[in-house]
């Protein structure tokens, strides 16, 4: 149990800005095993985002509450995944060879492709969240209209956990692209066991399955999320022969938005 707590705090330290015990660091052995808790980190980030949204909505408009919840998730993760998304936009937008793409993604400066990509990503995320959190347009998931916030909480958590599962699953099926050992994310790609696979899928799918108890149609979002995950992984494989940490961050962001859009599309048929 002590070892598992250490692995969990390693994941928390690596993927978020939440303070951890002083003895926790980026030790490669623990960092490699921390992938099993990546979707669980989504529970925490999604939960914090919902709390900020809920209390903000008591004072401000729904739109402002959504923006504040987005800010909260960015602050909690330190824009870790958004930075990866911007780097992928720059790298694949401006590079035409594997070497050039990897070189651009390693540059800390953001380019036009990255800036444009982030603007469009945030616009999609904002608009889809505004629609999803509009209690007059979404189903009550069997909780009753007065407890519809429970359904919204589960949507927040599911979006963050399922998208992180989609991202980390690429580690289980594809090779790491960079040949050098300078990347902070490389220890995650070195080895994994059935514990990492089982843990990632357990924490990644559990919130979705809980939602499905009250609204089984929500399971269709899994198909759309993993279709995008499949095409992204295939695209990365084609151009750079695998993935990098930035690719995982980009996959998480894209799949999170795909979940929101898929969920809202389902409301049209429920």
For residue 178, the model assigns a pLDDT of: 73
262 HSE (CA, 13 A, CB side): 23
Closest among 223, 254, 260, 256 to 92, alpha carbons compared:
254
Pair of tokens at residue 61: 């408009």
Q: Coil, strand or helix: which one is 24?
A: coil
Q: pTM for the full model?
A: 0.92
Residues 165 and 204 sit within 8 Å (Cβ to Cβ): yes
For residue 105, the model assigns a pLDDT of: 94
For residue 28, the model assigns a pLDDT of: 78
C-alpha distance from residue 206 to each of 29, 129, 219 (Å):
26, 21, 11
For residue 22, the model assigns a pLDDT of: 84
What are the pLDDT tens digits along the chain (270 aa)? 788 998 999 999 999 999 998 888 877 778 888 999 999 999 999 999 999 999 999 999 999 999 999 999 999 999 999 999 999 999 999 999 999 999 999 988 999 999 999 999 999 999 999 999 886 555 656 555 446 788 899 999 999 999 999 999 999 999 998 766 555 555 565 667 888 999 999 999 999 999 998 888 999 999 999 999 999 999 999 999 999 999 999 999 999 999 999 998 987 776
Q: Which long-range contacts (CB under 8 A, 24 or more apart) does 112-119 make?
A: 113/89, 114/85, 114/86, 114/87, 114/89, 114/90, 115/86, 116/89, 117/85, 117/86, 117/88, 117/89, 117/93, 118/82, 118/85, 118/86, 118/89
Give the Cα separation of 156 and 160 in Å (integer): 7
């Amino acid at each position: 149990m002590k070892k598992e707590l250490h692995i969990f705090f390693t994941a928390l330290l690596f993927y978020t800005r939440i303070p951890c015990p002083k003895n926790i660091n980026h030790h490669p052995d623990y960092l490699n095993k921390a992938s099993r808790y990546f979707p669980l980190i989504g529970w925490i980030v999604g939960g914090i985002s919902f709390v900020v949204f809920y209390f903000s909505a008591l004072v401000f408009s729904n739109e402002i509450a959504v923006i504040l919840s987005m800010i909260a998730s960015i602050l909690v993760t330190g824009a870790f995944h958004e930075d990866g998304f911007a780097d992928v936009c720059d790298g694949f937008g401006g590079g035409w060879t594997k070497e050039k793409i990897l070189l651009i993604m390693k540059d800390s400066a953001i380019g036009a492709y990255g800036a444009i990509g982030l603007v469009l990503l945030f616009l999609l995320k904002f608009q889809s969240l505004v629609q999803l959190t509009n209690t007059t347009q979404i189903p009550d998931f069997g909780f009753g209209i007065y407890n519809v916030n429970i359904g919204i909480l589960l949507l927040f958590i599911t979006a963050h956990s399922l998208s992180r599962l989609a991202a980390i699953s690429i580690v289980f099926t594809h090779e790491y692209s960079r040949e050098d050992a300078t990347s902070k994310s490389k220890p995650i790609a070195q080895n994994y066991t059935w514990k990492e696979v089982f843990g990632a899928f357990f924490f990644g799918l559990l919130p979705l399955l809980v939602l499905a108890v009250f609204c089984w149609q929500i399971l269709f979002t899994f198909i759309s999320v993993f279709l995008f995950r499949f095409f992204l992984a295939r695209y990365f494989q084609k151009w750079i022969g695998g993935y990098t940490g930035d690719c995982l961050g980009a996959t998480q962001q894209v799949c999170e938005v795909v979940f929101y859009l898929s969920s809202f599309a389902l409301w049209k048929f429920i």
